[in-house]
Amino acid sequence: MSRFAPRLLAAAALLSLPAGVFAHRLWLLPSGTVFSGADGWVSIDFAASNDLFYADHQPGRWEQVKVWQPDGAPGQVQNGATGRYRSVMDVKLDKPGTWKIGTEMSGLIGSFKVNGEEKRVGGRGGPPGPDGVRRPPLTVADIPADATDVKLTETNNRNEIFVTAGEPTRTVLKPSGKGLEIDYVTHPDELVAGDTARFRFLVDGRPAPGLKVTVVPGGKRYRNAEGARELTTGADGILAVEWPQAGMYWLNASHEDGKASAPRATARRMSYTTTLEVMTP
């Protein structure tokens, strides 16, 4: 079995969401990001929708969410449940410091041809059979040696939030050096309206200059304009973000290149998404 098979299965699980999800924004929304003491709880909504953060389209899969405690050790999601439009879950903040909560999905998507017939890799799989069961998605292992027009893209998508109990710490903020990430020069749980935060975007541990980043405040349902800002990282990969007012913000960046490591893949597509809470001064 290919070493990419487990990640392909994980990606297939994400891609099994209805196709409409990908015309919408996927988001994690914590009940708060700053808590006093080390005996509190944070509740998190997980969904995809047009208006941030108003759940009206499709739930995320809470089973895919992982937790990192302030020392980097694995944590636990509790009370997970999925409704019609959103999933909800709780995390007990029983250790002081900054926690990371989120998902990372990797896999392959693309197509190939056999005797002129195009077949898809990844995605939602084949159409339902006579028994009504949808066939599982094809993987790179299903591509025969005589296939033609092989076009594969390696994907990696991170969606994570940070929650602090007591004083903020930085262990879980450390980049892994793989894919698209943020090196948080400004701690994500120390954002204040009227201030400017600095985030260094990295690709494989190196600064990512000229990267396009979208920042959108929540609450579009109650405004005439969305208020989205399209920003660009500097030569050092740093993005300076001014916060005009307090509230929850959705931040997203994506990057494509030809540095795929998966067999037969010729392209790589990455994204990074986070939800940030900006406090009043």
Q: Report residue 243 as tokens.
A: 């916060």
Structural domain containing residue 93 = 5-107+154-278
Predicted confidence (pLDDT) per residue in 153-189, tens digit: 889 999 999 999 999 999 999 999 999 999 999 999 9
Predicted confidence (pLDDT) per residue in 201-221, tens digit: 999 999 999 999 999 999 888
Instruction: Return the residue matching tokens 């509190």.
Output: 40
Residue 134 domain-assigned? Answer: no
Q: Is the dihedral of CA 191, 197, 198, 201 positive or negative?
A: positive
Predicted confidence (pLDDT) per residue in 120-136, tens digit: 887 665 566 677 676 77
Strands 40-49 and 238-242: unpaired
Task: State how far the Cα of 212 lies from the Cα of 228, in Å rounded to an integer.
Answer: 13
Residue 143 domain-assigned? Answer: no
pTM: 0.84
Residue 215 domain-assigned? Answer: yes
Residue 220 domain-assigned? Answer: yes
pLDDT at position 6, please? Answer: 39
Interval 51-59 mean pLDDT = 90
Residue 23 pLDDT level (bands cut at 50, 70, 90): low
Which amino acid makes up residue 254? S
Strands 267-278 and 247-257: antiparallel
Strands 25-30 and 117-121: unpaired
Residue 125 domain-assigned? Answer: no
Q: Report residue 81 as tokens.
A: 């449940």
Q: What is the CATH number of the domain that holds 190?
A: 2.60.40.10
Residue 133 domain-assigned? Answer: no
pLDDT at position 265, please? Answer: 86
Structurally, the chain folds into a number of domains equal to 1
Q: Report residue 26 as tokens.
A: 């996927």
Strands 267-278 and 148-165: parallel
Q: Report residue 195 as tokens.
A: 């201030």
